[in-house]
């Protein structure tokens, strides 16, 4: 079973890896779409910071 911090770490490492091998990927957009399509999933409960999508890293 994964903890919230492991979920965030996985998302972050996936994002960084994809940006290294494919800088114009749409991972951030797809991740945001998943949260929009599944509103019962709370990004904060997964360890994401409030307003995470506005952090420069995710732009």
Q: Where are the alpha helices (DSSP H) in the chain?
A: 4-21, 27-37
Tokens of 33: 């779409």
CA distance 20 to 2: 25
pTM of the model: 0.64
CA distance 44 to 4: 9
What digits encode the pLDDT tens for the residues 4-58?
555 567 777 887 888 788 888 888 888 889 999 999 988 888 778 888 888 887 7
What digits encode the pLDDT tens for the residues 23-38?
888 888 888 899 999 9
| Cα-based angle 16, 8, 43 (whole degrees, multiple of 5) | 120
């Amino acid at each position: 079973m994964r903890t919230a911090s492991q979920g965030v770490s996985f998302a972050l490492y996936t994002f960084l890896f994809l940006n290294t091998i494919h800088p114009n990927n749409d991972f951030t957009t797809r991740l945001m779409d998943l949260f929009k399509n599944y509103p019962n999933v709370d990004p904060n409960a997964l360890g994401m910071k409030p307003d995470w999508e506005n952090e420069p890293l995710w732009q």
